[in-house]
Amino acid sequence: MTVAVDAPERESWFHKNQQRIAPWLFLAPGILFFLVYVIIPVFQSFNLSLYEWDGLGTAEYVGFRNYEDLYWEWVDRDAFYVSLKNNLIWLVLYLLAIPAGLFIALLLNQTVFGIRLYKSLFFFPFVISQVVVGLVFTWFYDPTFGLLNQFLAWFGLGPINVLGNEHLVTYGIIAAGLWPQTAYCMILYLTGLNAVDPEQIEAGRLDGAKGFRMLWHVVLPQLRPATFIAFVVTIIGALRSFDLISVMTQGGPFGSSRVLAYYMFEVALSEYGFRMGYGAAIAVVLFLIMLCFITYFLWSMYREERGY
């Protein structure tokens, strides 16, 4: 009688470590592309911002000269100052898209005949290209034939040249940007509203809550994830506002509607731009601003997951 002795199973190294390796293998393509297209360029542009380079010849190391120039532009209230200021206005006013989107979502969150049609009409501006939005609003604002001024004329109000006025132009562009952004927030809230627990509404109603109190204490807390996402996309959208400015004013009149992203493009890549290093320095500043928000977002997501 022989007892079959189990030969000790020869596990391969891969087999032994499979559990630990597999996630990395799956992550590898993502990490690779993230490194090549995001992380490395971040360092590259920081490096480039220390050089003076016209994109053709040889780059000359200038240290922090580009940042110094930016500083002087700030002091002199020049282009950089204007761009930064406009970026701030964008950040603040663009957030209006969130309450506006919530309002429309609440309005549309009902079952009446044809509601799907209304929803898609409201969502429409987000589907069309930003370039089209820009063009439509350019015509809307046009001082001679624009709808806005025709409308004002009914009330005997003089034509206002929104896009040609240095004080109004940024607000005019933001208004154009809010149109699609509101639609985006609306969609986020509409999906969020689907997930609102009807039992809690019921319970709230039994306790006598209605109207604004119901919204504030029962519905909104349940919409927190949607609010968070709406906040993130709106902030990012405001910081990277570029297409509307490019289509509607090209930064004008005399540069008063620039934001950092557009200024960077102008300096480095546009028809008259040959200053790659300077553009990179602006990009670094923009990146640092974004970093503040990104850090905040990541931190609050982390907190969420920890369950605080």
Partner 1 sequence: MHSIYKRTTAALALSVALAVPAAAELTGELRIFLDTSNPAPRATMEAMIERFQALHPDLEIETTIIEREAYKTQIRNFLTADTPDVANWYAANRMKPYVEAGLFEDVSDLWAEPEIAENLASTKGAMTLDGKQWGVPYTYYQWGVYYRKDIFDELGLTEPTTWEEELANCQKIVDSGRICYTIGTRNYWTAGGWFDYINMRTNGYDFHNQLANGEISWEDDRVKQTFANWKQLIDMGAFPDDHTARSWQESVPLMVRGDAAAILKGNFVVAPLRDAGLTDDQIDFYQFVSINPDVELAEDAPTDTFHIPANASNKEAAREFLRFVVSPDEQTEINNGANLGQLPINAKSSVDDDKFLIQGFEMLSSNSPGGVAQFWDRDAPAEMAKVSMEGFQEFMVKPDDLDRILAKLERSRGRIYEN
Question: Any contact of residue 272 with partner 1 (CB under 8 A)?
Answer: yes
Residue of the chain from 163, 223, 247, 286 that contacts partner 1 (CB under 8 A): 163
Q: Work out whether 141 is an interface residue with partner 1 (CB under 8 A).
A: yes
Q: Within 13 Å, how many C-alpha atoms sit on residue 47's CB side?
A: 7
Residue 243 touching partner 1 (CB under 8 A): no
Neighbours of 69 (CB within 10 A): 17
Shortest spacing between CB 257 and partner 1, in angstroms: 10
Q: In this chain, which of 11, 166, 197, 202 binds partner 1, going by CB under 8 A?
A: 166
- The correct pick among 21, 27, 76, 216 for binding partner 1 (CB under 8 A) is 76
Residue 152 CB, shortest distance to partner 1, in Å, is: 14
User: Using the rule CB under 8 A, which residue among 46, 54, 240, 294 binds partner 1?
Assistant: 54
Determine if 207 is a binding residue for partner 1 (CB under 8 A): no
Counting contacts by CB under 8 A, is residue 253 touching partner 1? yes
Is 37 near partner 1 (CB under 8 A)?
no
Q: Is 78 in the site for partner 1 (CB under 8 A)?
A: yes
**List 144, 154, 194, 211, residue binding partner 1 (CB under 8 A):** 144
Query: Which CB sits closer to partner 1, 140 or 184?
Result: 140
Q: Does 49 bind partner 1 (CB under 8 A)?
A: no
237 binds partner 1 (CB under 8 A): no
Q: In the complex, which residues of this chain contact partner 1 (CB under 8 A)?
A: 54-57, 69, 76, 78, 141-144, 159, 161-166, 249-250, 252-255, 266, 269-275
